[in-house]
Amino acid sequence: MSGEFDLIARHFSRCPPRDDVCLGVGDDAALLRPPSGQVLVATVDTLIAGVHFPEQTAPEDIGHKSLAVNLSDLAAMGAEPAWVTLAISLPKVDDRWLYAFAEGFYALAARHRVALVGGDTTRGPLCITVQALGWVPEGEALRRTGARPGDDIYVTGTLGDAGLGLAVVQSRIQVDPAHREALLARLNRPEPRIETGLALRGLASAAIDISDGLAADLGHLLEASGVGARVELDRLPRSDAVRLADPHGRLALTAGDDYELAFTLPPGCEADLARYAERLPPYTRIGRVEAVPGLRLIDAQGNPFAFSHRGYDHFRES
């Protein structure tokens, strides 16, 4: 029977060549060389079967998503990704499953020139933890704390697709078959907005990735900055599938797993960002930062929209 080190050698020893990796997989720890003048950015996320992805999710999709959610955090900081470590708990060794998982993981890693440089494997319930490391020039990191009254609020992509995709998987809702595959792709293969994060350096006053729902995550940004906001529901970017399933916009406000970016721009900065528009995913202005704390939602008629659910929380009692 093959052991842990054979498993690592078979599935997790591929590494895109990088001059900054002095020593990668195979020793007690990695040796890495950050560039001069850069600040190291580190993030870590854990994905648990049945919590962060349905049990029946394809292993390729799990591999992609486990890396994507971490790269999304780096994007929100304006960081360039470089290295990752992977700790995976498996109920049993299944080479076919592991091969497919690694294919999904490495395909996304190759697109962003990310090197897997270490990790751990153990027996237990299916659980994946990825630590991602990157860098940003000193003083240029995007943070949650810089939004100011008068700044415009933007989001990338569309909102609510992953949440609707999960509802479809769980048979809680029926959608047009023409929309099904796109919704499942948004749930299972989120696209980290690395290019947008890099373009926002020196422009955005604050940024955050949308993992627990727009209302929750934008609320974190506003609280960190000590400000409030007015958001127009009619401006929330939604796919046709989401508009049909949820015309009032609650799904776009509260559904998690979109992994888009929310960011604020001071007045006059949109023209500077527009220079990069051809190589960036779409982004939409949805509101404005205000001095009075709190998130205020306005419907299409200009009336206040009352709503209480603030997004996903692992420790909220049901």
Residues 214 and 273 in one domain: yes
Confidence of residue 53 (pLDDT cuts 50, 70, 90): confident
| 27 labelled binding-site residue | no
User: Average pLDDT in the 219-242 region?
Assistant: 96
User: Average pLDDT in the 109-131 region?
Assistant: 90
Residue 162: inside a domain: yes
- The percent of residues in the chain predicted with pLDDT above 70, rounded, is 89
Beta strand 152-156 with 228-232: parallel, antiparallel or unpaired?
unpaired
| 211 labelled binding-site residue | yes
| 95 labelled binding-site residue | no
Residues 34 and 81 in one domain: yes
| 161 labelled binding-site residue | no
| 212 labelled binding-site residue | yes
Q: What is the token pair recorded at 57?
A: 């999710």
Q: Of 106, 137, 168, which residue is a domain's last?
A: 137
**pLDDT single digits (tens) 264-279:** 999 989 989 998 888 8
Q: Determine the pLDDT at residue 301.
A: 82
The amino acid that residue 108 corresponds to is L
Q: What is the token pair recorded at 239?
A: 């796919």
| 312 labelled binding-site residue | yes
Residues 92 and 130 in one domain: yes
User: Average pLDDT in the 204-210 region?
Assistant: 98
| 154 labelled binding-site residue | no
Q: Is the pLDDT assigned to residue 295 strictly greater than 90?
A: yes
Residues 170 and 262 in one domain: yes
Q: Of 83, 107, 137, which residue is a domain's last?
A: 137
Q: Determine the pLDDT at residue 121.
A: 82
| 257 labelled binding-site residue | yes
CATH number at residue 69: 3.30.1330.10
| 106 labelled binding-site residue | no
Number of domain units in the chain = 2
CATH number at residue 229: 3.90.650.10
SS3 labels along 100-168: HHHHHHHHHHHHCCCEEEEEEEEECCCEEEEEEEEEEECCCCCCCCCCCCCCEEEEECCCCHHHHHHHH
| 313 labelled binding-site residue | no
Confidence of residue 315 (pLDDT cuts 50, 70, 90): very low
Q: Determine the pLDDT at residue 119.
A: 82
Residue 161: inside a domain: yes
Residues 290 and 224 in one domain: yes
| 99 labelled binding-site residue | no
Measured at the alpha carbon of residue 195, what is the angle toward residues 194 and 196, in degrees to the nearest 5?
A: 90
Residues 229 and 194 in one domain: yes
Residues 27 and 82 in one domain: yes
| 234 labelled binding-site residue | no
* Residue range(s) defining the domain that contains residue 76: 4-137
Confidence of residue 130 (pLDDT cuts 50, 70, 90): very high
